[in-house]
Amino acid sequence: MGFWQTVKADMKAATGHSRLGRLPTVFLFNPPFAAVFLHRVAAHLYRSRLRRLGIAIWGWNVTRTSCHINLEAEIGPGLLLPHPAAIVIGSGVRIGTNVTIYQSVTLGRVASSPIYPAVEDGAVLYTGAVVIGPVTIGRSATIGASSVVIKDVPDGGVVVGNPGRVIRIATPTDALTAQAAARP
């Protein structure tokens, strides 16, 4: 997917519409979209000849939003950060499409492994969740608030606690309902 198609998907996730003509207004008045958009621009420039400009925009975004998304993280379209404050996403993290991440979530590695987490399509990570190490969060999984995840989570898994444990596997209907509730 190209840059502008990804931006349209992010805008649709944050606002419910995807017309690029609305981009300036949405950027100015929608902090969840602005944080993701600035990351997309910075990462795009970082991978081009304008690497230093990308780093400058990244730094401005971190200062502006308190949201630290590493420029080398792989993030699919439709990312929604309803409250982008204090989110940390490490360099090797892979995030699928239509993922929702709430405030104060950390996605990082552990000292004993250089491998970062992978978050598959449609997952929702609630406030304060910590996902660290070589783990995979399955499609449409839900990570509860303040959970610490150090093991793989199956598709549709609902995880709570510290350490995180799967309390149930959601049905496809449950996953769609949870995802719809997480989106505007």
**Looking up tokens 């995180």, which residue turns up?**
164
> Listing from the earlier edge strand, what are the strands of the sheet with 136-137?
74-75, 94-95, 118-119, 136-137
Q: Are 147 and 164 in contact (CB under 8 A)?
A: yes
Domain regions of the chain by residue span? 3-182
For the stretch 143-174, pLDDT in tens is 999 999 999 999 999 999 999 999 999 876 66
Architecture (CATH level 2) of domain 3-182: 3 Solenoid (2.160)
Question: What are the pLDDT digits (tens) for 54-99?
Answer: 999 999 999 999 999 999 999 999 999 999 999 999 999 999 999 9
What is the structure's pLDDT at 174?
Answer: 64
pLDDT band at 1 (very low <50, low <70, confident <90, very high): confident
Phi, psi dihedrals of residue 170, rounded to the nearest 5°: -70, 145
Q: pLDDT digits over 51-60, tens only?
A: 999 999 999 9
Q: What is the pLDDT of residues 8-20, one digit of tens each?
A: 999 999 999 999 9
Q: Is it the case that residue 182 has pLDDT exceeding 90?
A: no
CA-CA-CA-CA torsion sign (73, 40, 156, 127) = positive
Per-residue pLDDT at 184: 58
